Structure 1
């Protein structure tokens, strides 16, 4: 009986069919997005009727769709691709770009996100030179000192900024730390106009920071990428190059996040 034949098919036969389906899907590439049934059968080394049977199974499940001139990848493939991209976390998307930035400027690169009145270091990449700074994953930083913190507040909702800045007195860490909400708002406006934040000696007298905003697929600032370096290591003439490198890294990560969520 036909029904009994399907139910008693061996594991090896089922696995072979799955393997053939994968073989078909792996044929597709940007250089050849459409394949005819005859071409697929020839590449698999099977009869045309067998090739069409495999194709029909893929069409039924949405992995392949029939179009003029042959068969192309179907909507189910793109749904899986979106799911795979969505499964990548912010750190996973950012780390390759962070490594590239660290190699480019040879300084510590931080990925940070705001949590209430604090800034949390989500990840970092250290440079090759031996001078290490005291940052680590999970490190909590203040909201009013340092380039990363200022970037994260510069594009935040004004009402939220007010709540953060005026909820309690802001702590002073050095003579350069801003603790007055109005002066911080003025700085935030300059940061938005410039596109990056630059701070020196606000949290540590010897540290220079350059940060840029990372945007999610909605265009909202969701994190910051920054470099932290001994100020003496970066000559003033080199600072514009560092700014551009950090800005480029932020744009690249933002673009990857948009692609992931599209």
Structure 2
């Protein structure tokens, strides 16, 4: 599993116009992934293309504010303040409580894992995940942050981004997770237009190999997309002829949740 990758620096050109301390602090936090749970000053210096002393200053600033903590002198790991902010973010959304019963019903109806996600700028965040009991390995875990260009859940959100926002999103580097990941901006824009026209997204192996995903938007007031509801299963277990009935289930669940969201005034 992997999270959003910081912008590659190369000769430092990637940071042109983004050289503030706040930008660098955010980039350091986004370097952490499931496969990299601690960082050294040398690693951070190399990724940011700065002197080691400069990287260490950034790390110490994050540590003093609780976002990082030193790991037995061997590096730095995420600190308690990150967990606290994650808790507050989930609490402030107000969406999870409404979604959980809908998600559990969708699990029973489809036999698939169900995800609730929302877009936050150039990233997609997993708010909730309901399981079927099967051991399905997915990149989306609660709190996981991933890119906007891979997986039905992400595409169901990105497809309804306002045009100006979409231009900005597609100008950013689009990471490749598998051979099926959409990384060409023009082709992705055309694919997103198809998703918007049909009202749902279907993807096979774009984020996790051998995984089928089906996602639909959840809308709030003024039909603004506030989240996405999606299902995921091993692709070989869902032949193409079976996809329409799962699409129907996901869209009906998303529509029902949308009705509740509008009644509660969330989003």
1:96 counterpart = 2:98? no
Segments of 5+ residues of structure 2 without an aligned counterpart are 1-91
Q: Is the 8 A contact 2:139 2:208 kept in 1?
A: no
1:193 counterpart = 2:197? yes
**Structure 2: distance between partners of 1:196 and 1:88:** 23
Task: Report the count of equivalent residues.
Answer: 175
Aligned-residue Cα RMSD (Å) equals: 1.7
Q: Is the 8 A contact 2:139 2:207 kept in 1?
A: no
1:119 counterpart = 2:124? yes
Give 1:128 shift. 3.2
Q: Flag the 1:152–1:172 CA change in 2: closer, same or farther, 3 A.
A: same
Runs of 4+ displaced beyond 2 Å: 128-135
Q: Is the 8 A contact 1:106 1:129 kept in 2?
A: no
* CA offsets 1:124-144 (integer angstroms, 9 cap, x no match): 100133445453210112111
1:203 corresponds, among 197, 204, 207, to: 207
* CA offsets 1:17-69 (integer angstroms, 9 cap, x no match): xxxxxxxxxxxxxxxxxxxxxxxxxxxxxxxxxxxxxxxxxxxxxxxxxxxxx
Q: Please tell me whether Structure 1 or Structure 2 has the larger radius of gyration of its CA atoms.
A: 1
Give 1:169 shift. 1.8
Segments of 5+ residues of structure 1 without an aligned counterpart are 1-86
1:249 counterpart = 2:243? no
Q: Is the 8 A contact 1:111 1:225 kept in 2?
A: yes
Moved more, 123-132 or 210-219: 123-132
**Structure 1: distance between partners of 2:165 and 2:184:** 16
Q: Is the 8 A contact 2:138 2:208 kept in 1?
A: no
